[in-house]
Amino acid sequence: MYLSTICSLAASLAFVSAAPTKRYDTVDFTFNGAGDAAYTISVPFDGQSHDTDNIISISSVSVPSDCAIDISAQCTLTTVDVDATLVAQGPGVWTIGPPSIVISSILCTETISTPPPSYVTIEFDGANPSEGASFSLNIPLDGAAHNVNNALSISAVVETYGSIDLSTNCEFVGVNSNTAPAAAPVLSAAGSGRWQVGPPQTILSVACFLHANPGH
């Protein structure tokens, strides 16, 4: 996310060198204490810790209201004694709890870290999914086998999250897996997020992993 396109930034100039370095967006942060006590510092979103050099006890922090950033998700505030908790109070304003704490440094990054998914939604398609021969299940990405509990013969599976490869990250056990291992379900890519199941059969259980299953 390039903050320069969404809010007024503090300009920074750099000398031209033979080996140019990355220039990070910089945002003015205002730290507010009791009464009129406040100070403002320009913070680069470079992933580095920057000292505030101020001992005022702070109750809230703000940025220009046209800045589309989330301080609680993109920044880490280091305090003198206790950990700070940020609560959004409106455009560009966050209160800090507990109140009246000294902020010694701040670290901000350009992007918001998205937590990995905890489950994958799998659509199980029979011969005629358009006529209702399908169902969906949320399968936890914990590597444990989860029962499907549906006798429908499955011809294809679809992953709706968009980032899990069912052929490498999941293990499907079908009715033929134990009695006829050679006829256990095999997944073949059939488009984005879709795999054909061969041979078609009832799926008894599914185990999925966040990363590729080492057994595949």
Check residue 155 and give its pLDDT.
98
Distance, in Å, from the CA atom of 187 to the CA atom of 199, rounded to the nearest integer, reads 9
Amino acid identity of residue 183, one-letter, is: A
**In terms of pTM, does the model score above 0.85?**
no
Check residue 112 and give its pLDDT.
56
Check residue 186 and give its pLDDT.
94
Distance, in Å, from the CA atom of 216 to the CA atom of 212, rounded to the nearest integer, reads 7
Q: CA–CA distance from 26 to each of 13, 63, 67, 216 (Å)?
A: 11, 11, 11, 46
**Dihedral pair phi/psi, residue 167, rounded to 5°:** -75, -25
Q: What's the half-sphere exposure (Cβ side, CA atoms, 13 Å) at 138?
A: 3
Domain coordinates in residue numbering, the chain: 3-108, 119-209
Check residue 66 and give its pLDDT.
81
The verdict on whether omega for the bond into residue 98 sits within 30 degrees of 0, i.e. cis, is: yes
Question: Do you know the residue count of the chain?
Answer: 216
Distance, in Å, from the CA atom of 124 to the CA atom of 120, rounded to the nearest integer, reads 12
Beta-carbon contacts of 17 under 8 Å, excluding residues fewer than 6 positions away, are none
Q: CA–CA distance from 155 to each of 15, 183, 193 (Å)?
A: 62, 13, 14
Q: What's the half-sphere exposure (Cβ side, CA atoms, 13 Å) at 169?
A: 20
Q: CA–CA distance from 61 to each of 73, 95, 189, 212 (Å)?
A: 14, 6, 50, 42
pLDDT in tens for each of the 216 residues of the chain? 334 333 644 433 333 333 344 455 889 999 999 889 999 999 999 889 999 999 999 999 999 988 878 888 889 898 887 777 888 887 889 988 777 789 999 999 886 555 567 788 999 999 999 999 999 999 998 899 999 999 999 999 999 766 789 999 999 999 988 777 777 899 999 998 999 999 999 999 999 988 776 555
**Dihedral pair phi/psi, residue 67, rounded to 5°:** -85, 120
